[in-house]
Amino acid sequence: MKKRVVSWVACTVLCVMTVFAQEALFNKNDITSPEVNADGSVTFRLDAPKAVKVELTGDFLPLMKVSTPKGEVEQAGIVEMKEGENGIWTYTSEKLSPELYYYKFKVDGMDYLDPSNVYMSRDIATYTNIFIVEKEKGDKGCLYSVNDIPHGNVSKVWYDSPTLKMKRRMTVYTPAGYDKGGRYPVLYLLHGAGGDEDAWTTLGRAAQILDNLIAAGKAKPMIVVMPNGNTNCEATPGEWSKGMYKPSFRGHATSKAVASMDESFPDIVKYIETYYRTLKGKKSRAICGLSMGGGHSFAISKRYPDMFDYVGLFSAAINMGGNDTEKEIANLFAARPKLYWIAIGNTDFLYKGNEDYRKFLDSKGFKYEYLETDGGHIWRNWRIYLTLFAQKIFQ
């Protein structure tokens, strides 16, 4: 009797569940999209038999010039997909070079996420599907992928910030082998405006980049601390008591912060150096960030000239305002950081601010390294900058 019941249960799990259980469990969609072909081209597919027009937009398509009230601007390219007899629309791209790419569909004008692709990233309030093209070991696609190597752990950690009068959430990467013992240097890695403590591990692929560089012996094993740079917030949207609100570029909360990122930053360092096995002293600390986070790295490093031996400004929003700015910068360079690294894309809207800042540094004889890449204010550049910066620190 029991045996028969068992077989019934086993069969049930395999067969009947597809009919009875909650709808979300059983999507019948069995289209493959995107499909990275052997030659590096990518085929996209969407089942939309009733659609009149299906388009694809993605950052691998040539930029288009569009007129706006503020003049001509560049936007992501867009192409039309073709409908097959079965109502499935397809498009195959050119051969793409190794990279992590974004895309989404437009169905009769409405943005549409690819239901066949569970991989997507949120940038502020907008999701976009992602895929990776990789060709060979060590290329960018490989570097942003999860490979068969030891992996670090990624944790969402609540720390106390007495300066900001709140508990706050940050993301902490500990390298493979951290659990077995030892002490490690620390990289503080800061996000841009509109971002949060999730941004570098999602859009930025920080854990994959570090795993891959460390496994290849190209970067030292290090702890990477990714705090939340919005000092009026405790955490990423939905992860603190403000509720499931819609994030926006101009700030994640309506309240005013009681202190700035640079004023409150020592709370983070104190927590990390108390509760993690860290190597102490400026030679074992690095800080870098993108855009607003580059501005934070600029501000924090000059405010605490003995804290970091490695400073990276990625497409940084540099603010030279304030009475003591020049004096603080002079103090920072007097403390002789091992590396002061500036990187920006040649079409970045912050290019001129960075150019002026470099002129200032040159005029004072303050030593820095400079990298200029193609492109603008985009994650594709920031992933490259992290990859390069991570190999330059703690060596």
Q: State which of positions 207-236 bind a second copy (CB under 8 A).
A: none
- Which value, in Å, is the radius of gyration of the alpha carbons in the chain? 24
From the list 89-97, 217-225, 237-245, 331-339, the region that binds a second copy by CB under 8 A is: 237-245
Backbone angles phi, psi at 86, to 5 degrees: -90, 10
Which run of H or E residues covers position 272?
Answer: helix 261-275
Structure tokens at 53: 């027009």
Q: Count the site residues for a second copy by CB under 8 A.
A: 106
- Of 64, 63, 46, the closest CA to residue 55 belongs to 46
Using an 8 Å Cβ cutoff, are 44 and 81 in contact?
yes
Contact with a second copy (CB under 8 A) among 80, 94, 108, 306: 108
Contact with a second copy (CB under 8 A) among 38, 85, 86, 118: 118
Structure tokens at 138: 């060590």
Q: Based on the shown chain and the rule CB under 8 A, indicate whether residue 191 belongs to the binding site for a second copy.
A: no
Measured torsion, CA atoms of residues 144, 98, 349, 286, in degrees rounded to the nearest 10: 30
Contact with a second copy (CB under 8 A) among 67, 86, 241, 255: 241
Structure tokens at 77: 């390219």
Contact with a second copy (CB under 8 A) among 61, 330, 378, 388: 378
| Binding letters toward a second copy, positions 137-176, x by CB under 8 A | --------xxxx-xxxxxxxxx--------x-x------x
- The minimum distance between CB 193 and a second copy, in angstroms, equals 7
Q: Based on the shown chain and the rule CB under 8 A, indicate whether residue 279 belongs to the binding site for a second copy.
A: no
Using an 8 Å Cβ cutoff, are 175 and 210 in contact?
yes
Using an 8 Å Cβ cutoff, are 333 and 368 in contact?
no
Nearer to a second copy, 130 or 339 (CB): 130
Which run of H or E residues covers position 71?
Answer: strand 71-75
- Of 224, 208, 232, the closest CA to residue 272 belongs to 224
Nearer to a second copy, 296 or 393 (CB): 296
Interacting positions 12-51 with a second copy (CB under 8 A): 12-14, 16-27, 29, 32, 48, 50-51
Nearer to a second copy, 241 or 255 (CB): 241
Contact with a second copy (CB under 8 A) among 41, 43, 79, 122: 122
Nearer to a second copy, 131 or 310 (CB): 131
Alpha-carbon distances of 235 from 223, 229, 263, 272, rounded to whole Å: 20, 9, 18, 17
Place of tokens 């992933």: 383
Contact with a second copy (CB under 8 A) among 292, 311, 329, 393: 292
| Binding letters toward a second copy, positions 46-75, x by CB under 8 A | --x-xx-----x-x--------x-x--xxx
Interacting positions 253-272 with a second copy (CB under 8 A): none
Nearer to a second copy, 204 or 247 (CB): 247
- Of 62, 65, 52, 58, the closest CA to residue 105 belongs to 58
Structure tokens at 306: 């003995």
Nearer to a second copy, 326 or 372 (CB): 326
* Residue 25 three-state SS: helix
Q: Based on the shown chain and the rule CB under 8 A, indicate whether residue 2 belongs to the binding site for a second copy.
A: yes
C-alpha–C-alpha distance, residues 307 and 253, integer Å? 30
Interacting positions 312-371 with a second copy (CB under 8 A): 317-321, 349-350, 352-353, 356, 360
From the list 130-138, 262-270, 279-287, 303-311, the region that binds a second copy by CB under 8 A is: 130-138
In 10 A of CB 306, how many CB atoms? Answer: 12
Nearer to a second copy, 82 or 320 (CB): 320
Contact with a second copy (CB under 8 A) among 265, 308, 379, 394: 379
Q: Based on the shown chain and the rule CB under 8 A, indicate whether residue 250 belongs to the binding site for a second copy.
A: yes
- Of 142, 206, 140, the closest CA to residue 390 belongs to 206
Please give the distance of CA 42 from its chain centroid, rounded to a whole number.
23
- The minimum distance between CB 89 and a second copy, in angstroms, equals 12
From the list 219-227, 241-249, 282-290, 383-391, the region that binds a second copy by CB under 8 A is: 241-249
C-alpha–C-alpha distance, residues 257 and 228, integer Å? 13
Q: Based on the shown chain and the rule CB under 8 A, indicate whether residue 94 belongs to the binding site for a second copy.
A: no
Nearer to a second copy, 40 or 115 (CB): 115
The DSSP code for 37 is -
Are β-strands 285-290 and 186-190 bridged in parallel, bridged antiparallel, or unpaired?
parallel
